[in-house]
Amino acid sequence: MTDLVGDRPVLVVDFGAQYAQLIARRVREAHAYSEIVPHDMPVAQMLEKDPLAIVLSGGPSSVYAEGAPRVDPALFDTGVPVFGICYGFQAMAQALGGVVERTGLSEFGGTELEVTSPESALFATLPQRQSVWMSHGDSVTSAPEGFTVAARTAGAPVAAMENRERRLAGVQFHPEVLHSEHGQRVLEAFLHDVADIDPTWTMTGVIDHQIDLIREQVGDGLVICGLSGGVDSAVAAALVQRAVGDQLTCVFVDHGLLRAGEAEQVERDFVAATGVRLVVVDARDRFLSALAEVEDPEAKRKIIGREFIRVFEDAARQVVDDAGRDGHTVEFLVQGTLYPDVVESGGGSGTANIKSHHNVGGLPDDLQFTLVEPLRTLFKDEVRQVGLELGLPPEIVWRHPFPGPGLAIRIIGSVNEERLSILRAADAIAREELTAAGLDRGVWQFPVVLLADVRSVGVQGDGRTYGHPVVLRPVSSEDAMTADWSRLPYDVIARISTRITNEVREINRVVLDVTSKPPGTIEWE
């Protein structure tokens, strides 16, 4: 499936920006569909997507650096509205004949912006002075011919510019970050007033269009979906069931890598909410045997992805028998792949493969199913909105993200039943205390990591111990593309630590991971 949303996109051209994904999300918050594309995509290919507008992202380069990414000047003669941000703003100005210089007046962080053109479309309803978030060394010192200078700062003589006739505009600051106090309204002014885009993209429209696409793709074929207990697979399954009904059978594989209580939650809550046909497969021995003595995290992911598919293939034959369709096969497999999965696996914008996800990069080459991925272009918060629209219970919709490979990638070292039991017990305590403190919604994800191959000296009771450390990794995020460690109250952290070291005898040390993303990823493996 390629046309996953049905709306003409606003293209976000990624110049290596930390915030390219955030720009795409902000465009969607303005009710316009967005897609991220690499900066080296030829203009002709961009036009094949029939974009409503194009946004040029920021980036770490200087426009004068050797090998710095460029903007093809032909882009500005296509008639498509273009909005430049930070580096994209400078590259745009340079391509159109403006002047970009290293003035020595770099600006980083909060900066006061002065609106110099009261008639500006970008700032028409905003205060003349406002705080914006800057991050630049070079500055545009002279706007291209035909452009109005709309704003300035102490270090940027041209901090914003626009040409209403050509529907071109740009800003030196970052409107996509919350530190720019009116940034979202500036972006919306470009989309709605300069580019004349109607704000009509909604989750209801996404659902309706996806249902049509799923029916077109599947026809009268049989479909299976691997439920993990997480929100992604649950929403994908609910969406497919809404489209094709009893043609869908959900397969819940208990691979032995789940957290405490998860198998019961899937069988109870999801089936009760949807009425979906569910097949439960106990494959714990199969997965643990395949993972025995395997320490490399990528190897773990590949093994788990392979075994999942093999289990699905076995389950598919049972589905055919149950459906009374002798001589037929299950052709389609539903995956809860999200846009961040695609981007991080190198499939979204030419980015590096940070890690393979078992539902993106870890599938075997001889896959016997055609994938149905109805969430592939959505961010996590959008998936939650879809889930609520479909009537899924809050316990499923607001569940913290949990990786498909499960606890296998939260054990640093090889995986066995003893180590899984230790980690399950510690994880359950951490989740219980977070819920008791009312902090579930304020934390995006809360991995607990067992350093299985590390031992630390401790004192418990009257004797010395030589136990395992565990790492608490609470993070806050909007879409998992960037994240920061959650500043949990110290008394909550203390209760978690005390309970784990008291109740899980194999653990004698609890540490807190205070690394943001980047440079660290959310999961350790």
The SS3 call for residue 286 is: helix
Handedness of CA 38, 43, 45, 50 (dihedral sign): positive
Long-range contacts of 314-322 (CB under 8 A, 24+ apart): 314/281, 315/224, 315/249, 315/251, 315/279, 315/281, 316/222, 316/224, 316/368, 316/369, 318/279, 319/222, 319/224, 319/249, 319/279, 320/222, 322/249
Q: How far apart are CA 467 and CA 454, in angstroms?
A: 8
Handedness of CA 319, 323, 327, 333 (dihedral sign): negative
Contact 518, 434 (CB under 8 A): no
Q: Shortest CA distance to 335 belongs to which of 214, 221, 215?
A: 214
Contact 263, 252 (CB under 8 A): yes
Please give the full DSSP string across 49-65, using - where no structure is assigned: T--SEEEE---S--TTS
Place of tokens 């002014």: 189
Q: How far apart are CA 279 and CA 289, in angstroms?
A: 22
Residues noted as catalytic: 86, 174, 176
E-state strands within 202-301? 223-227, 248-254, 277-282
Helix (H) or strand (E) holding 46: helix 43-48
Contact 482, 25 (CB under 8 A): no
